[in-house]
Chain A
């Protein structure tokens, strides 16, 4: 359902060429890219200084981002969209794509998130990776990631976005398999890459469709032509983009790689697999909102994917004993919320991005906290082996606690302002939809409260269930300071941006705003109370099960549902049964057939003559002879043919 009013208001504002500080936006890409190249090609001499260089370059990008943001805030809202042409990338006739950047409130919001959280995590990694002999490689990849992620959000066309899209995928692959000597970790990297390649098929087809239908692949051109396109084409493009988004953002049915991705060092999990890269799918949908607004079917599928994933992730999160995998399931679920919001249209776009921002802070903060716990516990991740850490790791406990309150949506912390808005928006509409999607979002909030409290209590409270000879201690300053900053953001960011209306008016020039008349089917106060009651119930249940009762060190067998959730609802079994095993059989039989069948059939003559010529070769000049013979044969055939023809 969309009205003409919302359509009109969601037309993007006019775009002008970048001037002033904005024209230095290329530095945003250049700094981290230079860092990655320097560290990778620089060799061992940079083993010592390299990490610090990478950290500084990441901050340098952040400074540029902040300066651009400030200049943008100073401009009139109608004059906040600028393009910066870099160079002609693929000038292939009618397919002519430039490397150029789009700087508008949406992209600069991401720039700030990526560079600020990214730089904090760079700093954190200085401490976390201190003893690792491959530190230089790690920081090179981190810088590469920042450059690629900024390419995603800054491109002004789909092809360049796609380049960044795969760039972040590459960085993710490299960092998941960073400790490649463990075969399981290397496989986890591959799994992520493969899942993302499936999504890339969608991206490719979407871009091809855009070019064939509109003759353009830049946002402005596509948006301008979209209103003339048929709904069928727009739906196809929307669904193909969604396929790409599902892979990148670990949304159902391409979610299976994210849990395994926790094999990567924890700062990577925080930056790439929680705060930034995995949210790129949401960015893509919001960035393509003009297309989605015109394709209600595609929008509906986005909402369904979001709703299914938010519940899927939440259910899985309840069963995981691995601290990082539980957080990963939570990430999936939270991105489900964002996806759901993005599918709701103009009433949801701003809140999808808002939740993405706050989530970027609180989830990154919690992952860093998890890293701090692992640091203290000799890389233990089994929560059944934690407990009672609150008193020994006060900073980690407090910062993690703020993230915990934020994600559950306890007022006045960040999640309350961003997630509850999504729940409200999900209840808007007519017919069955608001009830189904609204209830999914509402119930998801309750489950979130349960599994996050379970995680929090099992880790920081209750009896100490450590293995022997463990001496937990607080992390060094380089790690705690980023945690503190992120925790402050988790606590305050929602309050600053939400009720003040800053985030909605900031994004309005890009995504438009919901124009009146959108009341949820249940009134807002009722929804707020319901949500808070469910959250309280979730916390109480977790308290009952994991704090009041003692936590067994070995996981109980559990009900059928628990076991299913522990196995990620059989996602890997399904993928293996449907794709992997048939695929292996197919390639094996083809290899066999190619060696025997085709080679035998087509090469039958060859083998026959080959035998002859092998004999001929024993005569010293066999080759020359057979060649001459063939030539002669050719001439005879030709002469014969000519004789027949004439």
Chain B
């Protein structure tokens, strides 16, 4: 393995990009968007190059592409980066989605100038933090990125969002800060319980500690609370619909599609790995909360009349699935959850962006304002339907594989939970198809007959999403191969093994 600092470079490109975009001289201000997109594409290129260095057979340790430098040795903080398969696929998902979002946000701030530059610079900064948060292998460094991410999102919502943007931005910030604060306590406590020293925050040093059960549980709860807020689980989900509906669609994609994944990612990386006993202790409650999220989010989505809020609630339901798969603590559930994180990023991006295209044309997020739009915007309708089918996990499309794996993995241990969650597939059909029916079918809306269908730019926005939704549905193997070692390692950390099938390993004639 080369010693080239892939991850640092990967994070540096968007950071430099954001500085360049923000500080463009007047003469080049008109090119701010192109320059921002260019940097995002370079980031994508670097990420692909980095991914080629990744060995799917699993490297020597848990992490690959590692870098480590002492940062604040007095407090045991290191600048340590590295990825396992799970982090890598999430980073790849992010660096694909960011240019898509930039292109989707092309006309969000149409007039050139500082404001437009700021908007695009913020998104690039956010990309840097995203890469940082997924690749940190030092708990404190992770925490820094975890909290720092809030800043650009706060401004993206609060300065560029809709009418209620201030309320939504503050609500988002407060929820996140409360979660982050609780986590900070746990982070510091963890250091004290760990080996300490100048590298005392490294994940590898904090794995497999023997901690007093009560302290372990409290620390687990500290981390879990922060991640549950971020992943929006019931009942701490209520910030999400407001944030999603007030944010621009591109921001909503970055927020729901990528940032919220830090919650589920954190549960795997920190809750399960650092606090295995406490994780097993908390599992029953978390499974219940996850199942509630699945059903509750879906029911709420059915009842929405604002499309952006509807998408937000579908995500509450989908994050419920991800958490379910994580805490089922089976290999299959682990595959399912991780794949779900990736799929959900693309599918939700498609939904938000399509809804954004409609809102931009009709000037309303209110579903009853639409009818029969398939007749005037057939291409938008087609992509909408595809994204909708992916959301409801139609087999052949990406989400099906992940959702089914989560259900199977859960069923191995918690039959009742899996069966209840399976009912979510009926509800998913309801919220997607009723929404589609209300907006796209019915008589042609003559007063909007001149509305333009998808433009060339918009086709480029959705093309990667369409490719991924179809591609990962038919051939998810590449992603599954990349995450295989990480999924297995996680279960080893937790110290559980899959329940064997009733028949095949047991003696013949077994009547369970």
Could you list which residues of chain A lie within 8 angstroms of chain B, going by C-beta atoms? 40, 87-95, 99, 159, 162-167, 170, 173, 177, 180-181, 183, 185-187, 189-190, 193-194, 197-198, 200-201, 204-205, 207-209, 211-216, 225, 228-230, 233, 583, 586-588, 590-591, 594, 598-599, 602-603, 605-606, 609-610, 613-614, 617, 623, 627, 630, 633-634, 637-638, 641-642, 645
Q: Chain B nearest CB: distance from A91 CB in Å?
A: 6
Which one of B394, B441, B443, B503 lies within 8 Å of A228 (CB-CB)? B503
B350-392 near A? 1/0 per residue, CB < 8 Å: 0000000000000000000000101100000010000001000
Give 5 A-B pairs besides A94-B332, A207-B408, A225-B503 with Cβ atoms closer than 8 angstroms.
Answer: A90-B477, A93-B487, A93-B488, A627-B177, A638-B188
Contact A92–B405 (Cβ < 8 Å): yes
Q: Given the interface contacts A212-B411, A614-B170, A642-B188, does A181 sit within 8 Å of B300 by beta carbon? A: no
A229 to B476, CA, bound (A): 32
Q: Which of A233, A588, A613 gathers the greatest number of chain B CB atoms within 10 Å?
A: A613
Interface membership of B184, Cβ < 8 A: yes
A111 to B96, CA, bound (A): 41
- Within 155-208 of B, Cβ neighbours of A (below 8 Å) are at 158, 166-167, 170-171, 173-175, 177-178, 181, 184-185, 188-189, 192
Contact A208–B408 (Cβ < 8 Å): yes
Interface membership of B458, Cβ < 8 A: no
Which one of A187, A228, A230, A613 lies within 8 Å of B508 (CB-CB)? A228
Q: Which residue of A lies closest to B476 (CB)?
A: A90
Interface membership of B141, Cβ < 8 A: no
A606 to B158, CA, bound (A): 16
Which one of B173, B418, B509 lies within 8 Å of A208 (CB-CB)? B418
Contact B444–A587 (Cβ < 8 Å): no
Could you list which residues of chain B lie within 8 angstroms of chain A, going by C-beta atoms? 151, 154, 158, 166-167, 170-171, 173-175, 177-178, 181, 184-185, 188-189, 192, 235-236, 238-239, 296, 299-300, 302-304, 331-332, 335-336, 339, 372, 374-375, 382, 389, 394-396, 400-401, 404-405, 407-409, 411-412, 418-419, 422-423, 425-426, 429-430, 433-434, 437, 440-444, 474-477, 480-481, 484, 487-488, 498-505, 508-512
Q: Chain A nearest CB: distance from B106 CB in Å?
A: 23
Q: Which of A94, A211, A588, A603 gathers the greatest number of chain B CB atoms within 10 Å?
A: A94
| Chain A residues with CB below 8 A from B302, complex form | 583, 587
Q: Which of B426, B440, B509 gathers the greatest number of chain A CB atoms within 10 Å?
A: B426
| Chain A residues with CB below 8 A from B476, complex form | 89-90
Which one of A594, A605, A617 lies within 8 Å of B238 (CB-CB)? A594
Which one of B396, B426, B434, B481 lies within 8 Å of A167 (CB-CB)? B396
Q: Which of B166, B174, B304, B499 gathers the greatest number of chain A CB atoms within 10 Å?
A: B174
Q: Chain B nearest CB: distance from A33 CB in Å?
A: 10
Contact B372–A181 (Cβ < 8 Å): yes
A99 to B395, CA, bound (A): 13
Q: Given the interface contacts A163-B395, A166-B395, does A230 sit within 8 Å of B408 by beta carbon? A: no
Contact A95–B382 (Cβ < 8 Å): no
Q: Chain A nearest CB: distance from B72 CB in Å?
A: 15
Contact A587–B437 (Cβ < 8 Å): no
| Chain A residues with CB below 8 A from B151, complex form | 627
Q: Given the interface contacts A40-B382, A94-B498, does A201 sit within 8 Å of B422 by beta carbon? A: yes
Contact B434–A190 (Cβ < 8 Å): yes
Contact B443–A211 (Cβ < 8 Å): no
| Chain A residues with CB below 8 A from B185, complex form | 634, 637-638, 641
Q: Chain A nearest CB: distance from B420 CB in Å?
A: 10
A378 to B388, CA, bound (A): 35
